[in-house]
Every structure is written in C-alpha cells, then in structure tokens.
Structure 1
Amino acid sequence: MSNLAPLNPSLTVLIVMVLRGRSLSRIRGLMHFLELFPFIFSEAINCLNQAIDIYTDMGRFTIAAKHHITIAEIYESELVDIEKAIAHYEQAADYYKGEESNSSANKCLLKVGHYSAQLEQYQKAIEIYEQVAMSTMDNPLLKYNAKEYFFKASLCHFIVDELNAKLAIEKYEEMFPAFSDSRELKLLKKLLDAHEEQNSEAFTEAVKDFDSVSRLDQWLTTMLLRIKKTIQGDAGDLK
C-alpha cells in the first residue's frame, strides 16, 4: 500500500510536487495558502529514500543520485539541517562517480566543501577543493575554474594556520602555474603579509581592492572575516 494513501489530499499533492522536482518556493507558498504544516518535507524525504532504495537495487544510480540531491536541497533550504544536506550531497557524488559522471559529482562535492567550511570542518573542505581542482586542471573547458578552488582551499588553510597557507599556496603554484598570475593569489599574498604584520587596515584594504573588481560572495566574506579576526586587536569587520 502506498505511504501517501492516508494523507490529506492537499498534502499528497504537495509531496508529489516535491518528488517531481517542482520549485520549492512555489511549494512553500502553497503550504502557507493551504495552512499545511512543514512536515510535508519530511514526508517527501521518506518517499524519496524509498525511491532511492528501489533505484539502487535496480542499478539506476544516476536517478538515485538525483533523488539524494533533492533531499539535500530540502535539508539545505527548508529543514535547515546542513549536516544532513552534506551527507546526501556526498552520497550523490559517490553515485555519480560510480557512473563516471565526474562533472555532476564535482558539483555535489563543491556543495560539500562549501558547507564543510561553514561548519568549520576545514580539513574536509580543503581535501574536497583540492580534489575538484585537480580533476578540472586537465580539462580545457574547466581548467581555469581550478584557481577558484585552490583559492578557497588556501583560505581554509589560512583560517587554520598562516604557515599552512603559505606552504599550500606554494604547492598549488607548482601544480597549476596559471594560479601564479591570478588575482586570487595576489590577494592571498597581500593578506599573508598583512596578517604577518598584524596589520588589520592593510588586510581590509587588500580585500576592498579585490572586491572592487571581483565581488565577494557571502562564503568568501565569511572566510575572510574569520581570518581577519585572528589579527590582534581587530574589530571583526571588513569596513
């Protein structure tokens, strides 16, 4: 018997919309309109997990990976459980790798790296960014994305330890010479100098100069603030 059968018909419709990948924002609006409780997403996750079991038994790992991504997105934006989102992105990446869908696997891994760093799991984030960077270096269409991933790995190193960051940057330059001429590396070297001198003003100016050309997103801003707070007497902002 279907698990959806005993549910309120309106709730069933919304769960089906989640399973079919409809816009979560649209579903959220309907939930408010129908005055339904947010447990719709938990019910949808249960259904998706059952579907994953079926598809993995059938050897349909690409479809199973897509369902893991849908679950991850629900945890990411609706139930706000980032650790569970990470777990499902990791599982999706594993399935994609098994199917040799490396581009799709990397997209999932980048999500894992992004959230791992936010949760201060820096070593995990570093390993992921390095892994994705190395997998894109030899791809003519993607190789210049590698500098972004090495940059993010460097920032994670920097938060942990200044010396670690210096050694990592040297390694990345050797691995990927194009990184040496990047604006990202120039910023890192300015930040390292400012940090070594415990000069928060120089640190802020370097960030502002970079931001005036390449806008910093929320993740980069957060990581840079964490580094800056390790400067003695710092006010804890980038203004």
Structure 2
Amino acid sequence: MASSEEQRATQLLAEAEKKAAGGSSGGFLSSAFGNRNSKMEDAIELFCQAANQFKMAKNWNQAGYAFTQAAEGSRKLDKKHDAAMKFVDASVCYRKADANRAVDCLKKAIEIQTEMGKFSMAAKQHINIAEIYETELQNIAQAIQHYEKAADYFQGEENKSQAAACLQKVAHYAADQEDYMKAIQIFEEIGNRNAGNAVLKHSAKDYFFKAALCHLCVDPLNAQHAVARYEKTFPAFQDARECKLVKAVLTAMEESDVDSFTGAVNDYDKISRLDQWTTQLLLRAKRTLGESDLT
C-alpha cells in the first residue's frame, strides 16, 4: 500500500500534468493575457511539490521524473537557469535509482549552462557525471573524459585550482592504467605552475613527488634526471621527505638492493602514512627488483 506521501505525490503529479497540458494550448487571447504562462508556472510548482513528496516516500524514480517535468516546463518558459537547476535536482534523485538517467539529466543541465555561458557551473556538472561513472557505473574511461572537460571549462574561467583538482584525478587514473607519460605531463605542469606561485608553492612538492613515482615505474635514470629538474625548479623539494624517499629508492634500484628499498619505504611510512595510490606505484617500481610487496 502506498504511503500517504506517495499518494499525495501522485495526486500532485496528476494535477501538474493537467495544468501543463492546459498551459501548452489556447488561442491568441489566452496567450495575450498570459494565461498559458501562468498555467505552466502553476504546473512547474506542482511538479516540484510532487517531486518533494516522492522524495519523502523514497520513490526516487518518480521524484526524478517530476523534477524533469518541472525542468522542461521552465525551459518552455525560457527560464534557463531554473530549468538547469531542476535537471540537477532530477539527477540527484535518479542517482539513487537509475544512474544512466542521472547522467542524462546532468547533460541537459550542461547544455543549458554552456548556452548561457555559465561554464563554471557546467564544469561542476561534468564533475558530478565523472563521479557517477567512477562509482555507480564504474566506467573510468568516461570518468576521465568528464574530468578533462571540467578542467577545460575551469581553465577557461581562470579557475586554476579547480582545474588542477580535476586534472589530478585524470593523472591518477592515467597512472593506474600505466599511461605514465600522460600522468607525468599533468603532474609536472601543475607542479611547475605552483612552484612559481607564492600561495600555492608549498603544494609543488606533492606534484613533483607523484611525477617522480611515475618516472620510477618507467625508467630509474629518467627519474633521476627528473628529480634534478624538480630541485632546480623548486629548491625546497630537495629537503622534502618525499624527495629523500625517491632518492633512497633510486639508489636501492641501482644497486638491486631489495632490503634498502623496503627500509626506505618503511621509514617514510612510519612518519607519513602512504596512501593506496602511492603504495601501488612503489610496488610496481619494486617489482623490477623481483619483489611483489613492500614488506
């Protein structure tokens, strides 16, 4: 048996659809007096009320549908911002029940927002889509594409910090997929830019460290040359624990000394816990010595 919220939502949805149908017809006089627009505005309000009642009943598909209808109504009235926001509301609901529909709604919001020149808002929707592909749909290739698109939009709006955050996700996934050169390019680009910025320079070492880890997985000699470049670009990197770890690991790899490799990693981990991504890259580097774990 349907809950009281769902019964109320179904009633509101029927009223909204009736209003919307009436709002799309009528002759010249009704249009001239604004009756058509007034009916559509009423319908939009009813669709939103229905959506919220469906949310209370946890009927996410119907809530998403009602918000979508509200969005389409707003688009017919040329209320573009309202339409985009209602498509986003619909995506939030659909994400709990139908991730593909959630993506479709976000794409409609992006279409409207880019048409309006609201590229930062569109970038945020690309991030939302990327996160859906990361989690619900588990399609990393699509996630990467949308993070890259978000980064493009943020860069166009001179929002470099948000662009860097998106590109860092791309670089992490590139390294996961062993596309190390793409990851290195991104990490070095962000590191070089941050090294010259008084506010962001403290974070440069993190990007250079990640780039160096990728180099370790490709060629130790390249990694050695890269570290020298990073120290020249950002002298403080030389004293960073991350730099010292990379150098210690490089020495161990040159000498094929598994114990020294393991000891350097363990010494670092005692003070600064290694995250999963860093651990994974160090494991790949260590496998060149014929070892499959870091302990």
TM-score after normalising by structure 2 = 0.70
2 CA distance for matches of 1:208 and 1:21?
48
* Cα root mean square deviation, aligned: 2.5
Match of 1:11 among 19, 37, 61: 61
- Is the counterpart of residue 110 in structure 1 residue 168 in structure 2? yes
Q: Which runs of 5+ in 2 are unaligned?
A: 1-16, 21-46, 48-53, 68-85
2 CA distance for matches of 1:143 and 1:133?
8
CA deviations over 1:36-66 (Å, ceiling 9, x no partner): 5xxx111110111121112112211111100
Change (3 A) 1:21 1:99: farther
Partner of 2:258: 200
2 CA distance for matches of 1:218 and 1:199?
23
- Relative contact order (alpha carbons < 8 A, sep ≥ 6): 1 or 2 greater? 1
- Is the counterpart of residue 132 in structure 1 residue 190 in structure 2? yes
For residues 204-215 of structure 1, what are the structure 2 equivalents within 5 Å?
A: 204-215=262-273
The count of corresponding residues between Structure 1 and Structure 2 is 222
1:238 maps to a residue whose letter is L
Structure of larger gyration radius? 2
2:277 maps to a residue whose letter is W
- The DSSP-based 3-state class of the residue aligned with 1:111 is helix
CA deviations over 1:80-116 (Å, ceiling 9, x no partner): 1111111100000000000111111111111111111
- Is the counterpart of residue 237 in structure 1 residue 293 in structure 2? yes
CA deviations over 1:204-224 (Å, ceiling 9, x no partner): 110000000011000000000
Partner of 1:75: 133
- The DSSP-based 3-state class of the residue aligned with 2:158 is coil
2 CA distance for matches of 1:194 and 1:226?
14
1:23 CA drift (Å): 8.1
Identity of aligned residues (%): 49
TM-score after normalising by structure 1 = 0.86
Kept in 2, the 8 Å contact 1:89–1:109? The answer is yes
Change (3 A) 1:68 1:179: same
1 CA distance for matches of 2:250 and 2:61?
54
Which structure carries more helix by proportion? 2
- Is the counterpart of residue 57 in structure 1 residue 107 in structure 2? no
Match of 2:236 among 174, 178, 187: 178
2 CA distance for matches of 1:23 and 1:153?
36
